[in-house]
């Protein structure tokens, strides 16, 4: 069984990756003592830049291992693509808070406030995920996945994390927060990117 280390302390992301890996002979694990490692500043202008930066930096702490890092977020058309790369810290009000993640409820509240007068037909958006796989400080490949949906005017569902309760996926008439980990891996941006990664793993063999 192939082992892949995921550069995150986010339990929700680890669940998503593990759910996507279930049908494959891939073991998902976190980087040992990840919380004690120096944080990587996510100052890239794109999801890919941030994913590569994190994967390269964290892979140096796990010699010889394939380390996967992702950067993902929500792009809302009516907000000109915001929150985008700032998705995890969208509720930060002061410049000095700009590098610190803000909590999910606060981020969701800001999105709802900014979409307050936007009609349902214009509340389109997408989740984007870019994964970078690195070994010993060098990026091996990157993978992109997207999921198109609509931003609701109130949260629905108790699963998931981040903007999942607001992200309605018309294809299955549910928000991402109403899905199990296995269902989410089938439809989500992260699941799509991870499937591309798994395909790459198969070809690398």
Computed from CA positions of residues 107, 114, 98, 15, in that sequence, does the dihedral angle turn out positive or negative? positive
Domain borders along the chain are 2-204
CATH 3.40.50.1390 fits 2-204, yes or no: no
H helices of the chain, in order, are 11-21, 47-59, 104-114, 181-187, 189-204
What's the number of CA atoms in the CB half-sphere (13 Å) around residue 72? 31
Please say if 205 is a catalytic residue. Answer: no
Neighbours of 72 (CB within 10 A): 25
Confidence grade of residue 74 (pLDDT, cut at 50, 70, 90) = very high
Burial 177-201 (b: 16+ CB within 10 A, else e): bbbebebbbebbbbbbbbbbbbebb
Residues 107-124 have pLDDT tens digits of 999 999 999 999 989 999
Examine the pLDDT at 192 and tell me if it is beyond 60: yes
Q: According to the model, what pLDDT value does residue 202 have? A: 75
Q: Is the pTM of this model over 0.85?
A: yes
Residues 20-63 have pLDDT tens digits of 777 777 888 999 899 999 999 989 999 999 999 999 999 999 99
Catalytic residue among 71, 77, 103, 164: 71
Q: According to the model, what pLDDT value does residue 107 have? A: 95
Average per-residue pLDDT for the chain? 90
Neighbours of 40 (CB within 10 A): 15
φ/ψ of residue 182, rounded to 5: -70, -40
Computed from CA positions of residues 106, 99, 47, 22, in that sequence, does the dihedral angle turn out positive or negative? negative
Examine the pLDDT at 99 and tell me if it is beyond 80: no
Q: 3-state DSSP call for residue 9?
A: coil
φ/ψ of residue 18, rounded to 5: -65, -40
């Amino acid at each position: 069984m192939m082992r892949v280390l995921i550069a995150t302390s986010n339990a929700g992301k680890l669940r998503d990756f593990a759910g996507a890996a279930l049908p494959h002979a891939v073991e998902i694990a976190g980087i040992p003592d990840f919380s004690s490692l120096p944080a990587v500043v996510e100052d890239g202008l794109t999801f890919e830049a941030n994913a590569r930066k994190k994967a390269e930096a964290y892979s140096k702490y796990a010699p010889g291992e394939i380390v996967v890092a992702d950067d993902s977020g929500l792009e809302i058309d009516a907000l000109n693509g915001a929150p985008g790369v700032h998705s995890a810290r969208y509720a930060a009000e002061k410049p000095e808070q700009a590098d610190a993640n803000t909590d999910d409820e606060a981020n969701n509240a800001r999105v709802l406030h900014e979409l307050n007068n936007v009609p349902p037909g214009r509340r389109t958006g997408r989740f984007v995920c870019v994964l970078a796989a690195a070994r010993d400080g060098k990026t091996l490949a990157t993978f992109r996945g997207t999921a198109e949906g609509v931003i609701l005017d109130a949260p629905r569902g108790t699963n998931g994390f981040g903007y999942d309760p607001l992200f309605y996926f018309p294809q299955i008439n549910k928000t991402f927060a109403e899905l199990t980990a296995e269902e989410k891996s089938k439809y989500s941006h992260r699941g799509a990117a991870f499937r591309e990664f798994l395909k790459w793993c198969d070809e690398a063999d």
